[in-house]
């Protein structure tokens, strides 16, 4: 292909910029940057694009939102609430919804984009986790991602609190209760945050500053860091023909990926705008202004906080009263202990896994989830725990809609939260090992072609055909977990590392990871004689077709 000459006007601009920034080389390299072609690599982009939508729609909202607890009497367009005393925060939210042109649409876009943002971070994180893409050298980017997720939760909670409607107030009430449950310093922390007794006049303006300035600022910085590290370290890729640790196969940034990513931004924006236009979210006018004496049934936080709501709902009412003090275990454990139980493994996982497996190799070709059964099983039990807690947070709605007794759901979740993750772990691990066996069998014996052949002796056999080159690469992609340094050296002297308690824990865990290992199947070529013919014709035709597509 010959490059057509650059149009004169463009060339002039290019030269002007290049003379000043020496950008030609930089652009030349980066415009050819390769992005792998798999849809699951777009999940993180959903988060990026919805974050942009949130920033823009949120900026619009700040033009009219008044983060003040000052009391006013409503006299706006929503006549049903005429004469109701409310805070300026709530009043201005109603004004945005009913009197500002496009205000309700922007509010709804902002809220839907926030839900999609956090949901996208979730699925992106699950993709990275289950494929082991967090492994060396990408551990730090995992940390940044986990921080972004947690900050997303916090940012969402702050935003949920700002309109000062009944629902926000109930969320704040729980936040207050959680702070109060902290031993010794809880009361001080609560008074510090709220500027006095609940709800006070300070909380909304304070949350507003955090919501529009501090947290998004930190998040934006982390998003940039996340992206620059990704750019520098390059993408991981799924195993396949020609895919190596030393290359990235995919589409160059310019023009194809730029078009794809640009189009994808508009998909994300389009779906968010559609939801904003057609699906009502957080109808603050129905909730009414917050008064500490009121509460509504079916009060839930936004979905990402639902799991904490659930842990609070199903935890037994334990508390310790001693020396005139109360330790509210029924709040402290579910609201602070459970998040610790979930977030700690999430944050330290890459380092924990590296320590247990002793795998310090660089990984650019990702694992298939089945090839790391313990990790996948652990991840699935985490997903199960999270999902059950999340459902428990909606237990009254479940009870009401499905006609099951409310306390029945509580007891169900109490047992399910303990048994569910264990069952999920065992089942997932077995499924992974089964899939590994199938891969190993396919790699060494080929796949069952469905062709039945009668031999001259009269025997019937099913013809096995060799995998295509691509499928074979995938089937044998599993990398063995390296063995730990022997606990005892040649002279029978125990190594210092394995003698300590941590050393013993480590070798136990290592053994747990590798004990069920299925050896990688080696292809046998044509070694079995009949029935193991060359590459199947279909595969060849397909390969031919692909070749043509590439022209």
Partner 1 sequence: MLLALAVIGVVYAALSPETGRAEATVSASVKDVTEGKRLFDQSCASCHGLNAEGTKTGPSLIGVGAAAVDFQVGTGRMPAANPGAQMPRKRPVFDDQQTKALAAYVASLGGGPAIPSKEQVDPATGDAALGQSLFITNCAQCHNFAGGGGALTGGKKAPDLHETTPSHIYSAMITGPQAMPVFNDTTVTPEQKRAIIAYIVETREEPNPGGFGLDRLGPVSEGLVGWVVGLGLIVAAAVWITAKQREND
Q: How far is CA 161 from CA 52, 167, 288, 377, in A?
A: 21, 8, 14, 36
Number of residues that bind partner 1 (CB under 8 A): 74
Collapse the DSSP code of 7 into the 3-class scheme (helix H, G, I; strand E, B; otherwise coil) and give the result.
coil
Peptide bond into 541 cis (omega under 30): no
Q: Interacting stretch for partner 1, rule CB under 8 A, among 175-183, 286-294, 348-356, 493-501?
A: 286-294
Tell me which of 52, 69, 271, 441 binds partner 1, using CB under 8 A. 271
Nearest CA among 30, 123, 92, 15 for reference residue 289: 92
Closest separation in Å from C-beta 220 to partner 1? 22
Does residue number 242 form part of the binding site for partner 1 (CB under 8 A)?
Answer: no
Tell me which of 147, 233, 300, 498 binds partner 1, using CB under 8 A. 300
> Which pair of structure tokens corresponds to residue 152?
């997303």
Closest separation in Å from C-beta 104 to partner 1? 6
Closest separation in Å from C-beta 266 to partner 1? 9
For residues 351 to 390, the per-residue mask of contacts with partner 1, x marking binding by CB under 8 A and - elsewhere, is ----------------------------------------
Q: Interacting stretch for partner 1, rule CB under 8 A, among 4-12, 185-193, 227-235, 391-399?
A: 391-399
Q: Interacting stretch for partner 1, rule CB under 8 A, among 133-141, 204-212, 228-236, 248-256?
A: 248-256
Which residue's structure tokens are 């995992």? Answer: 142
Does residue number 278 form part of the binding site for partner 1 (CB under 8 A)?
Answer: yes
Collapse the DSSP code of 551 into the 3-class scheme (helix H, G, I; strand E, B; otherwise coil) and give the result.
coil
Closest separation in Å from C-beta 250 to partner 1? 8
Give the C-alpha separation, 548 to 551, whole Å. Answer: 6
Q: Are 119 and 175 in contact (CB under 8 A)?
A: no
Give the C-alpha separation, 504 to 484, whole Å. Answer: 12
Instruction: Report the residue number, 258 or 336, with the smaller CB distance to partner 1.
Output: 258
CB atoms within 10 A of CB 382: 20
Nearest CA among 104, 67, 71 for reference residue 285: 104
Residues 304-343 that bind partner 1 (CB under 8 A): 306
Instruction: Report the residue number, 5 or 262, with the smaller CB distance to partner 1.
Output: 262
Tell me which of 66, 272, 436, 444 binds partner 1, using CB under 8 A. 272
Closest separation in Å from C-beta 282 to partner 1? 7
Instruction: Report the residue number, 93 or 436, with the smaller CB distance to partner 1.
Output: 93
Residues 81-110 that bind partner 1 (CB under 8 A): 81-84, 97-98, 104, 108
Secondary structure letter of residue 517 according to DSSP: P
Does residue number 268 form part of the binding site for partner 1 (CB under 8 A)?
Answer: yes
Helix axes 43-62, 215-233, angle to 10 degrees: 150
Give the C-alpha separation, 533 to 255, whole Å. Answer: 42
Q: Are 369 and 432 in contact (CB under 8 A)?
A: yes
Closest separation in Å from C-beta 70 to partner 1? 19
Tell me which of 133, 144, 162, 167 binds partner 1, using CB under 8 A. 167
Does residue number 256 form part of the binding site for partner 1 (CB under 8 A)?
Answer: yes
> Which pair of structure tokens corresponds to residue 72?
């006013």
> Which pair of structure tokens corresponds to residue 193?
């945050």
Collapse the DSSP code of 86 into the 3-class scheme (helix H, G, I; strand E, B; otherwise coil) and give the result.
strand
Instruction: Report the residue number, 160 or 349, with the smaller CB distance to partner 1.
Output: 160
Collapse the DSSP code of 476 into the 3-class scheme (helix H, G, I; strand E, B; otherwise coil) and give the result.
coil
Residues 457-516 that bind partner 1 (CB under 8 A): none
Partners of 325 in the β-ladder: 322
Instruction: Report the residue number, 171 or 373, with the smaller CB distance to partner 1.
Output: 171
Instruction: Report the residue number, 208 or 307, with the smaller CB distance to partner 1.
Output: 307
Give the C-alpha separation, 5 to 255, whole Å. Answer: 17
Does residue number 280 form part of the binding site for partner 1 (CB under 8 A)?
Answer: yes
Does residue number 51 form part of the binding site for partner 1 (CB under 8 A)?
Answer: no
Does residue number 275 form part of the binding site for partner 1 (CB under 8 A)?
Answer: yes
For residues 392 to 411, the per-residue mask of contacts with partner 1, x marking binding by CB under 8 A and - elsewhere, is --xxxx-xx----xxx----
Tell me which of 132, 159, 163, 288 binds partner 1, using CB under 8 A. 288
Does residue number 116 form part of the binding site for partner 1 (CB under 8 A)?
Answer: yes
Instruction: Report the residue number, 83 or 496, with the smaller CB distance to partner 1.
Output: 83
Give the C-alpha separation, 383 to 420, whole Å. Answer: 10
Tell me which of 30, 59, 296, 362 binds partner 1, using CB under 8 A. 296
Closest separation in Å from C-beta 17 to partner 1? 26
**Residue 466 CB-density burial (10 A; 0-12 exposed, 13-18 middle, 19+ buried):** buried
Q: Interacting stretch for partner 1, rule CB under 8 A, among 250-258, 465-473, 479-487, 522-530?
A: 250-258
The DSSP secondary structure of 417-461, one letter per residue, reads HHHHHHHHHHHHHHHHHHHHHHHHHHHHH-EEEEEEEE-TTS-EE
Instruction: Report the residue number, 232 or 551, with the smaller CB distance to partner 1.
Output: 551
Residues 169-228 that bind partner 1 (CB under 8 A): none
> Looking at 308-424, which runs of residues are DSSP E strands?
320-322, 325-327
Tell me which of 1, 20, 39, 450 binds partner 1, using CB under 8 A. 39
SS3 track for 449-469: EEEEEECCCCCEEEEEECCCH
Closest separation in Å from C-beta 35 to partner 1? 10
């Amino acid at each position: 292909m010959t490059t057509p000459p650059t149009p004169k006007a463009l060339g002039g601009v290019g030269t002007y910029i290049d003379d000043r920034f020496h950008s030609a080389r930089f652009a030349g390299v980066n415009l050819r940057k390769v992005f792998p072609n798999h849809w699951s690599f777009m999940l993180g982009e959903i988060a990026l694009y919805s974050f942009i939508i949130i920033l823009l729609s949120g900026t619009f909202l700040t033009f009219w939102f008044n983060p003040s607890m000052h009391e006013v009497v409503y006299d706006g367009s929503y006549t049903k609430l005429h004469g109701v005393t409310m805070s300026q925060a709530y009043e201005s939210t109603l004004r945005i919804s009913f009197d500002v042109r496009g205000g309700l649409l922007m509010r709804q876009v902002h809220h839907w984009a926030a839900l999609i943002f956090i949901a996208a971070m979730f699925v992106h994180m699950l993709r990275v986790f289950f494929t082991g893409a967090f492994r060396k050298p990408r551990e730090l980017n995992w940390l940044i991602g986990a921080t972004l997720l947690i900050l997303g939760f916090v940012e969402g909670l702050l935003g949920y609190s700002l309109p000062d409607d009944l629902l926000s107030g109930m969320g704040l009430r729980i936040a207050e209760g959680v702070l109060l449950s902290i031993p010794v310093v809880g009361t001080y922390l609560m008074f510090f945050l709220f500027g006095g007794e609940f709800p006070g006049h300070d909380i909304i303006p304070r949350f507003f500053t955090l919501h529009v300035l501090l947290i998004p600022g930190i998040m934006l910085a982390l998003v940039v860091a996340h992206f620059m590290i990704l750019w520098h370290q390059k993408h991981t890729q799924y195993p396949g023909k020609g895919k190596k640790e030393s290359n990235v196969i995919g589409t160059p940034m310019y023009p194809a990926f730029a078009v794809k990513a640009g189009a994808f931004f508009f998909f994300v924006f389009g779906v968010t705008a559609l939801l904003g236009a057609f699906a009502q979210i957080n109808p603050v006018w129905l909730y009414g202004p917050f008064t500490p004496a009121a509460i509504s049934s079916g009060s839930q936080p936004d979905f990402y906080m639902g799991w904490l709501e659930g842990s609070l709902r199903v935890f037994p009412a334990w508390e310790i009263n001693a020396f005139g003090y109360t330790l509210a275990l029924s709040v402290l454990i579910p609201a602070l202990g459970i998040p610790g139980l979930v977030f700690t493994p999430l944050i330290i996982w890459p380092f924990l896994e590296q320590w247990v497996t002793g795998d310090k190799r660089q990984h650019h070709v990702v694992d298939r989830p089945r090839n790391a059964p313990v990790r996948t099983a652990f991840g699935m039990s985490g997903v199960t725990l999270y999902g059950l807690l999340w459902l428990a947070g909606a237990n009254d709605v479940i009870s009401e809609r499905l006609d099951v007794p409310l306390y029945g759901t509580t007891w169900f979740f109490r047992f399910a939260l303990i048994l569910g993750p264990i069952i999920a772990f065992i089942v997932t691990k077995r499924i992974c090992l089964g899939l590994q066996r199938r891969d190993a069998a396919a790699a060494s014996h080929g796949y069952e072609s469905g062709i039945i052949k009668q031999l001259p002796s009269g025997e019937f056999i099913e013809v096995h055909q060799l995998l295509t080159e691509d499928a074979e690469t995938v089937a044998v992609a599993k990398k063995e977990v390296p063995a730990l340094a022997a606990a005892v050296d040649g002279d029978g002297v125990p190594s210092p590392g394995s003698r300590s308690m941590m050393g013993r824990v480590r070798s136990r865990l290592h053994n747990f990871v590798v004990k069920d290992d299925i050896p990688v199947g080696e292809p046998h070529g044509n070694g079995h004689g009949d029935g193991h013919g060359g590459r199947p014709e279909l595969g060849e035709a397909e390969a031919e077709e692909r070749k043509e597509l590439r022209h």
